[in-house]
């Protein structure tokens, strides 16, 4: 009885706190309300599960969590399902609690919860809320000061999986670390059999490629390597290899979209995805696989893909100061390098890098990212944020003429300077993105 009182009291206070935040315009409100809710009712998330009638779906991985979970939520909503989803990407416990606290009502129920979770917080989430599905996108080196090396991050996810006895896994077969997570659980795999490009940008990357070892300690070899460690790998020593896919696909990547042909029970089904880059094709394939697992058909999934709009800095399109702008989050070497391939070199470019806790204090990843892709930039390249000077130095060594590099540490001023002059590409780190969301 006491827990129930705490739960309903936390809902009332959460709504009051959120109203105060909006009136004062002090914050985006994506985590504070959740933090307050968990203080009042520590078991808040555990009690939220009863408000989900069908399934709880969690999504984790280094890159693509927000886009993949956003696509999954939109596919389910387009199929007339009621979905609760942490749309704004606040993916620690406070962020998840935030969206439930502001969405739940005593007599309101949802069909699905789609929860994007930070890799390190997934195991904590599962302490309170069990999940029916876990979609894992990829594992790349990311924020070494927060996560450590890849094995540490992988162990976070493995520990979470072990806590969830009935969990079904949807795994990227092309990632040699992610593909090992099926050892104790039911799993289905998705991946690309072939990748073809028909676009104006250079699809190869100059970023350094890490060597991945098989669990037996032997370096993996590849028959096909799409980017970073993603591809068709095998071990000459123990015979370990990429698993056979339940949802194998071929993809043709164009400038602004991709055509993905997915086999579902050996029947090829074609989808058009209106998002740029191979990395987004992977995100879409993960979402399509989940849709098939839930019994949705081509028409239902394609309808959702057609109406999906990128969110919160993930290939997000806006009009700023009367001119078009595209905002793409960058936060680690592999993700940044893939985004940099797709940048319109005829646009003004703003790169806003902060080194706050949520960004990761260690900015050495800038030197492993393929900023050489910007060498032929035709207009200004403005660096901003707390690490504007470091970013400008990186661009100098990438071969960008110094007369094109402008340093403006104030992010708002940097974006205004660029967008006043025409089309702009904005590449922010995470907390820089949050500031842009508040200011624009």
Give residue 366's pLDDT. Answer: 95
Closest by Cα among 258, 256, 316, 312 to 285: 258
Band (367; pLDDT cuts 50, 70, 90): very high
Band (146; pLDDT cuts 50, 70, 90): very low
Band (412; pLDDT cuts 50, 70, 90): very high
pLDDT of residue 183 exceeding 60, the answer is: yes
**362 is known as an active-site residue:** yes
State the average pLDDT over residues 305-316.
88
Mean residue pLDDT across the chain: 91
pLDDT of residue 204 exceeding 80, the answer is: no
Give residue 280's pLDDT. Answer: 96
State the average pLDDT over residues 300-317.
91
pLDDT of residue 21 exceeding 80, the answer is: no
**Of 168-172, 203-207, 294-298, which range is least confident?**
203-207
> pLDDT tens for residues 235-269?
999 999 999 999 999 999 999 999 999 999 999 99
pLDDT of residue 296 exceeding 60, the answer is: yes
State the average pLDDT over residues 363-383.
94
Closest by Cα among 79, 65, 92, 97 to 172: 65
State the average pLDDT over residues 172-179.
96
Better pLDDT: 142 or 96: 96
Band (145; pLDDT cuts 50, 70, 90): very low
Contact by Cβ (8 Å): 55, 112: yes
pLDDT of residue 195 exceeding 70, the answer is: yes
Structure tokens at 312: 């919160």
pLDDT of residue 130 exceeding 80, the answer is: yes
Candidates 127, 362, 368, 416; catalytic one: 362
**Of 151-155, 310-314, 340-344, which range is least confident?**
310-314
Give residue 248's pLDDT. Answer: 98
Q: What share of the chain in percent tops pLDDT 70?
A: 94
Residue 361, CA distances (Å) to 64, 288, 367, 429 in order? 21, 35, 14, 11
State the average pLDDT over residues 172-191.
91
pLDDT of residue 32 exceeding 50, the answer is: yes
Give residue 10's pLDDT. Answer: 86
Give residue 17's pLDDT. Answer: 83
> pLDDT tens for residues 381-400?
999 999 999 999 999 999 99
Rounded CA separation 368/354 (Å): 17
> pLDDT tens for residues 66-92?
999 999 999 999 999 999 999 877 888
State the average pLDDT over residues 58-72.
96
pLDDT of residue 209 exceeding 90, the answer is: no
Residue 24, CA distances (Å) to 20, 339, 411 in order? 6, 35, 22
pLDDT of residue 24 exceeding 80, the answer is: no
pLDDT of residue 148 exceeding 60, the answer is: no
State the average pLDDT over residues 118-141.
93
pLDDT of residue 147 exceeding 90, the answer is: no
Band (359; pLDDT cuts 50, 70, 90): confident
């Amino acid at each position: 009885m006491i827990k129930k009182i705490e739960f309903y009291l936390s809902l009332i206070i959460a709504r009051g706190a959120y109203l105060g935040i909006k009136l004062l315009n002090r914050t985006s409100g994506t985590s504070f309300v959740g933090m307050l809710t968990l203080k009042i009712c520590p078991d808040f998330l555990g009690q939220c599960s009863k408000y989900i009638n069908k399934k709880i779906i969690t999504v984790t991985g280094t890159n693509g969590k927000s886009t993949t979970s956003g696509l999954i939520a939109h596919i389910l909503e387009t199929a007339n399902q009621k979905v609760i989803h942490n749309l704004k990407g606040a993916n620690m416990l406070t962020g998840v609690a935030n969206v439930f606290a502001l969405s739940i009502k005593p007599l309101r129920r949802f069909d699905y919860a789609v929860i994007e979770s930070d890799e390190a917080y997934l195991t904590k989430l599962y302490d309170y809320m069990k999940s029916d599905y876990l979609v894992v996108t990829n594992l790349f080196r990311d924020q070494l000061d927060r996560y450590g090396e890849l094995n540490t991050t992988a162990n976070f996810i493995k520990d979470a999986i072990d806590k969830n006895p009935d969990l079904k896994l949807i795994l990227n077969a092309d990632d040699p670390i992610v593909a090992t997570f099926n050892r104790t659980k039911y799993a289905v795999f998705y991946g690309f059999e072939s990748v073809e490009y028909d676009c104006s940008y250079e699809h190869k990357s100059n970023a350094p490629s890490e060597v991945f070892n098989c669990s037996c300690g032997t370096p993996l070899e590849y028959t096909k390597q799409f980017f970073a460690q993603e591809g068709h790998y095998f071990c000459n020593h123990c015979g370990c290899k990429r698993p056979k896919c339940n949802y194998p696909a071929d993809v043709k990547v164009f400038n602004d979209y991709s055509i993905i042909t997915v086999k579902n029970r050996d029947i090829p089904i074609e989808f058009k995805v209106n998002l740029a880059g191979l990395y987004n094709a992977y995100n879409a394939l993960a979402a399509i696989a989940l849709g098939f697992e839930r019994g949705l058909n081509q028409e239902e999934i394609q309808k959702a893909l057609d109406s999906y709009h990128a969110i919160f800095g993930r290939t997000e399109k806006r009009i700023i100061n009367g001119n078009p702008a595209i905002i793409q989050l960058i936060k680690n070497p592999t993700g940044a390098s893939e985004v940099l391939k797709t940048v319109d070199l005829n646009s003004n470019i703003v790169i806003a890098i902060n080194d706050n806790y949520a960004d990761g204090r260690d900015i050495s990843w800038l030197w492993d990212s393929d900023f050489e892709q910007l060498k032929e930039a035709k207009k200004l390249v403005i660096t901003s944020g707390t690490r504007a000077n470091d970013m400008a130095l990186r661009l100098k060594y990438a071969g960008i003429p110094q007369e094109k590099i402008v340093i403006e540490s104030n992010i708002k001023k940097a974006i205004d300077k660029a967008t006043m002059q025409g089309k702009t590409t904005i590449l922010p780190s995470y907390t820089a993105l949050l500031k842009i969301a508040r200011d624009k």
